[in-house]
């Protein structure tokens, strides 16, 4: 079954063709990052406009690169939630129009479910159940993937997402948007023990996260240094920050795995590209006899191939939509 998939939840307009949920025939992304970089973050209005301009061309490109025509497509999958509402609406409406014109089933896909599915594209042996840490720019969740379309949230952030925290800390250190990847590089050159940063807990919720206090600590540290006329070694601060975030994520993820008894752990989302997180989880899983799956770097960020993969399993479960499909800015993964 060939699925044409579309993704426009944030600042990438993406289209892909995926066969039987596991084989990527094409995966095309038109990134808007250069434009949002001017403003230090995503400007929703600009994102929607750029999606509108790019969506037809990127879809054409995905079909051409896959070497298939619309006649060889069996269904259309689209990210319908969660994300920037104006951005989502572009993909959803385009997919609805195409599905109606080509008389094809329409499959709504949850963005976080698709981040998890990025792993199915790279690891043919990965099957639910497993425990997943989803860390992206907008979300940080520990989720038990009971089946391809059945999810139980074990923990979540109470405030900022891990990626947001990376981006804000990076911005405070003068790095361009999105700062996560720049902070990761700087961390590789610094001393993780140079600064002691807070590790906020959520009382009574051992698997939840809270990152806003950590973000504020970094911003305050930089402000105070500036007021005193001191310079901060940003490589050291990056390394200490990254060490702290990864420590929080790994400790709670492993504690959740001990509680659920899962032996298969999976990382997903943009922050799963972080070298500190990958190394730390790799070492912890080896030590504890757990099997770890991580997406390849090319599939960590937003893309449409992961939507095509999850879309396949949603279709098998009968989760299709009619022409009244709407986009939602927020929606539980469950």
Q: Which residues of this chain interact with Zn ion, rule CB under 5 A?
A: 136, 302
Contacts of 190 (CB under 8 A, 6+ apart): 233, 234, 235, 236, 237, 238, 239, 240
138 is a site residue for ligand KG4 (CB under 6 A):
yes
- Residues numbered 243-262 forming contacts with ligand KG4, rule: CB under 6 A: none
Q: Which stretch binds ligand KG4 (CB under 6 A): 27-35, 40-48, 270-278, 321-329?
A: 270-278
- Residues numbered 88-127 forming contacts with ligand KG4, rule: CB under 6 A: 115
E strand residue ranges, 148-289: 150-156, 264-268
Structure tokens at 135: 């860390």
Closest residue (Cβ) to ligand KG4?
A: 270
> Do residues 128 and 121 lie in contact, with contact meaning Cβ atoms separated by under 8 Å?
no
Among 7, 160, 208, 302, binds ligand KG4 (CB under 6 A): 302
C-beta atoms surrounding 187 within 10 Å: 25
The 3-state DSSP class for residue 307 equals helix
- Residues numbered 165-204 forming contacts with ligand KG4, rule: CB under 6 A: 166-167, 178-181, 184
The 3-state DSSP class for residue 178 equals coil
- Rounded least distance, CB 12 to Zn ion, Å: 9
Of 75 and 180, CB closest to ligand KG4: 180
14 touches which of Zn ion, ligand KG4, none (CB within 5 to 8 A by kind)?
Answer: none
C-beta atoms surrounding 254 within 10 Å: 19
55 is a site residue for ligand KG4 (CB under 6 A):
no
State the Cα–Cα distance between residues 134 and 284, nearest whole angstrom: 17
Residue with the two structure tokens 């089933």:
105
What burial letters (b/e) apply to 35-56, b meaning 16+ CB within 10 Å? ebeeeebbbbebbbbbbbebbe
Of 59 and 140, CB closest to ligand KG4: 140
Of 117 and 237, CB closest to Zn ion: 117
Q: Which stretch binds ligand KG4 (CB under 6 A): 50-58, 220-228, 271-279, 319-327?
A: 271-279
Q: Which stretch binds ligand KG4 (CB under 6 A): 72-80, 163-171, 226-234, 247-255?
A: 163-171
Of 269, 271, 250, residue with least CA distance to 165: 271
Q: Which stretch binds ligand KG4 (CB under 6 A): 134-142, 151-159, 204-212, 285-293?
A: 134-142
Of 151, 121, 109, residue with least CA distance to 311: 109
Q: Which stretch binds ligand KG4 (CB under 6 A): 35-43, 190-198, 266-274, 280-288?
A: 266-274
- Residues numbered 305-334 forming contacts with ligand KG4, rule: CB under 6 A: none
Of 96, 119, 136, residue with least CA distance to 9: 136
86 touches which of Zn ion, ligand KG4, none (CB within 5 to 8 A by kind)?
Answer: none
Of 208 and 302, CB closest to Zn ion: 302
State the Cα–Cα distance between residues 44 and 103, nearest whole angstrom: 31
- Rounded least distance, CB 329 to ligand KG4, Å: 13
- Rounded least distance, CB 289 to ligand KG4, Å: 27
295 is a site residue for ligand KG4 (CB under 6 A):
no
C-beta atoms surrounding 316 within 10 Å: 12
Residues that bind ligand KG4 in the complex, under the rule CB under 6 A: 10, 115, 136-138, 163, 166-167, 178-181, 184, 269-271, 273-274, 301-302
């Amino acid at each position: 079954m060939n699925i044409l998939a579309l993704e426009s939840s944030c600042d990438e307009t993406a289209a892909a063709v995926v066969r039987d949920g596991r084989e990527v025939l094409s995966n095309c992304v038109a990134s808007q990052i250069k434009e949002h970089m001017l403003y230090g973050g995503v400007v929703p209005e600009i994102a929607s406009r750029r999606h509108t301009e790019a969506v037809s061309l990127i879809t054409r490109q995905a079909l051409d690169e896959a070497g298939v025509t619309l006649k060889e497509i069996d269904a259309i999958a689209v990210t319908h939630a969660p994300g920037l509402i104006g951005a989502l609406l572009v993909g959803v409406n385009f997919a609805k129009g195409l599905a109606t014109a080509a008389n094809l089933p329409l499959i709504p896909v949850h963005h976080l479910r698709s981040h998890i599915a990025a792993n199915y594209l790279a690891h043919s042996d990965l099957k639910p159940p497993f425990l997943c840490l989803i860390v992206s720019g907008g979300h940080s969740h520990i989720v038990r993937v009971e089946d391809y379309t059945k999810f139980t949230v074990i923990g979540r952030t109470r405030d900022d997402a891990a990626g947001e925290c990376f981006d804000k800390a990076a911005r405070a250190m003068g790095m361009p948007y999105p700062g996560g990847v720049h902070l990761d590089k700087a961390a590789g050159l610094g001393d993780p023990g140079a600064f002691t940063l807070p590790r906020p807990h959520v009382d009574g919720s051992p698997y939840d996260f809270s990152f806003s206090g950590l973000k504020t600590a970094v911003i305050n540290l930089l402000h105070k240094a500036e007021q005193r006329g001191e310079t901060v070694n940003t490589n050291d601060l990056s390394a200490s920050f990254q060490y702290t975030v990864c420590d929080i994520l790994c400790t709670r993820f492993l504690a959740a795995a001990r509680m659920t008894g899962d032996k298969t752990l999976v990382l997903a989302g943009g922050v799963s590209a972080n070298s500190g997180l990958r190394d730390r989880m790799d070492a912890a899983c080896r030590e504890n006899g757990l099997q770890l799956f991580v997406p390849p770097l090319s599939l960590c960020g937003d893309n449409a191939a992961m939507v095509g993969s999850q879309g396949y399993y949603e279709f098998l479960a009968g989760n299709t939509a009619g022409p009244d499909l709407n986009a939602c800015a927020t929606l539980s993964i469950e």
